[in-house]
Amino acid sequence: MNQHTKSVFARFGSINDRLDPEYSYLIFEQNTYGEPRTRFQEIIDFLSVFNKGGIKYNFFSEKEDHRTCLVVKLSPKHKEKMLMNILELSLSKDLNLYMYDPP
């Protein structure tokens, strides 16, 4: 396991404890300063289209490494459609996208 992979797992350790294993999640991670809502506004706007499905999201900040994550709980009903549409977004290059999909 390389150093980057170890650091990703370490960062998500605190988030992972809060995830419901019955659901899938998208985790958007950005290494910038400022208000989280502003940094992830394009994604939040996109999520509002699906909000009738009860999509929930939270922000998590790690002050030590100046990273903020937007964690989106996926509704099973809208999961596939949302994933397809997310992949079509033109997201910032300093944004990392991870998916948590339990077996």
Q: Which of 79, 95, 100 is nearest to 43 (CA)?
A: 95
Is 35 among the domain residues?
yes
The model's pLDDT over 14-39, given as tens digits with 9 standing for 90+, comes to 787 888 888 889 999 887 666 666 77
d(CA 23, CA 21): 5
Is 86 among the domain residues?
yes
Q: In sequence order, which residues have a C-beta less than 8 Å from that of residue 63 and are 6 or more positions away?
A: none
Residues counted in the chain: 103
The model's pLDDT over 41-88, given as tens digits with 9 standing for 90+, comes to 888 888 887 665 567 888 887 767 677 889 999 878 778 888 888 888
Is 10 among the domain residues?
no
Is 3 among the domain residues?
no
Is 40 among the domain residues?
yes
Number of domains in the chain: 1
Q: What is the pLDDT of residue 2?
A: 46
The residue range of the domain holding 30 is 26-63+70-103
